[in-house]
Amino acid sequence: MKVLLLENVHSVAQETFRRHGFDVETRTGSLGEAELIEALKGVSVVGIRSNTKVTRAVLDAAPDLRAIGCFCIGTNQVDLEHATKLGIGVFNAPFSNTRSVVELVIGEILALARRLPEKTQRMHDGVWDKSAKGAYETRGRTLGIVGYGNIGTQLSNMAEAIGMRVAFFDTADRLAHGNAQRMGSLDELLEESDVVSLHVDGRPGNAGLFGAEQFAKMKPGAVFINASRGMVVDDLALREHILSGHLSGAAIDVFPVEPKAQGDLFESPLRGLDNVILTPHVGGSTEEAQEEIGTFVSSKLSAYILDGATALSVNLPDVAPAAREGAFRIALLHRNVPGVLASINRTLAEAGANVIGQSLATRGELGYVVTDTDDHVTPETLESLRHVAEAVHLETWHQDTSA
């Protein structure tokens, strides 16, 4: 089977796939829709990061595609609903780069508090500007975290460790870590915070979450950080509040429109502003995080393709079937309606197949059942299973655990 890896996915992923017998092709940049459609011919697994968009049109034009690996946290760059309808598994790395993002944000908080971006630029320009004006310690100041998930909670812990007070707001019911204080509304958090850091996901409802109205409600002299999603923030409104002096600084790692490849021109209304840190979507780009992501996602994809395991898939029912030496494995993804399992087992029984193991799970509109028999099932029986009412996709393997 062929694997296509885009956007400089870590080489450890290539090694994992090749070790399992896959044919691997790599490309350094992202691809547009038409380019991706062409590149996916004959491809069973595609690995992407945040810049490649796997749209409905791409999915419909890729009949050989069985799985998508998002070598990052987010999956909003994939049409998950349509991928699910087509029975294409999607996997990501929800935890692997958490520490890297948090360390970047902590570094930015400290740098902005001391106005290091403008200090270092003036030194490079040959200007000796030794002044304490506008430079502060972070100890005792309030960090407001918007989005208290994996990254938000670890940031909360680290910020407290350097002496900051922490407030957070999340639409979900989250347990506060340490001495962090949950705020009743976003407005309340903005009024209290010296630093506001966004850590929300890429769901459509978060588009435009932070604009002129929210910036206006922040404390005078506060700092703003976005290491979540570019589409969440109105960068033009942020520019205005930086230039007016209402905000004393900002650090932005993600943008509404980002270059597709290394070295491409970067455009933003935030370029050239004092005490503004701009980074090229590198929150999770450390050697440690990228290696961990490469290992984690490639292992999950390999287990899915080779064994039918869907553990930690973002869109398929969670099934982790036990390995059975010499067994013939049948994996059927189906619509979640009553009677499918009975139809499967009746078809197998009528064919004289001896079932030695079976795992089933459902998730929303889908069900997924993995059945092991002690011998091969005839092509005629498999064809009957493919035509079981509500079947979406069927795969078969001969289990060999000696490899």
Mean of the pLDDT values across residues 32-41? 96
Name which of 213, 212, 264, 205 is nearest 231 in CA terms: 205
Mean of the pLDDT values across residues 80-95? 93
| Chain mean pLDDT for the chain | 94
| Antiparallel, parallel or unpaired: β 45-48 and 23-26 | unpaired
Active site residue 229: yes
Residues 6+ positions from 183 with CB-CB distance below 8 Å = 144, 167, 168, 169, 189, 192
Tell me what pLDDT residue 371 has: 96
State yes or no: pLDDT of 399 exceeds 80: no
Distances (CA, A) of 274 to 130, 169, 304: 16, 29, 49
pLDDT in tens, 146-202: 999 999 999 999 999 999 999 999 999 999 999 999 999 999 999 999 999 999 988
Alpha helices (runs of H) in 224-378, residue ranges in sequence order: 235-243, 287-307, 340-350
Phi, psi of 6 (to 5 degrees): -110, 170
Out of 199, 229, 239, 329, the active site residue is 229
Tell me what pLDDT residue 205 has: 87
Is residue 34 very low, low, confident or very high in pLDDT (cuts 50, 70, 90)?
very high
Cα–Cα distance, 305 to 288 (Å, whole number):
26
Residues 6+ positions from 188 with CB-CB distance below 8 Å = 169
Active site residue 240: no
Tell me what pLDDT residue 401 has: 53
> By percentage, how much of the chain surpasses pLDDT 70?
99
Out of 35, 118, 188, 258, the active site residue is 258
- Element housing 107 (H / E): helix 98-113
Tell me what pLDDT residue 21 has: 94
Q: Euclidean distance between the first and final Cα of the chain, in Å?
A: 17
Mean of the pLDDT values across residues 280-297? 94
Angle at 275 between CA 273 and CA 280, to 5 degrees: 75
Tell me what pLDDT residue 403 has: 42
Tell me what pLDDT residue 39 has: 97
State yes or no: pLDDT of 340 exceeds 70: yes
Tell me what pLDDT residue 202 has: 84
Tell me what pLDDT residue 268 has: 97
| pTM, to two decimals | 0.82
Active site residue 258: yes
Out of 49, 281, 329, 334, the active site residue is 281
DSSP string, 158-224: HHHHTT-EEEEE-SS--PPPTT-EE-SSHHHHHHH-SEEEE-----GGGTT-BSHHHHHHSPTTEEE
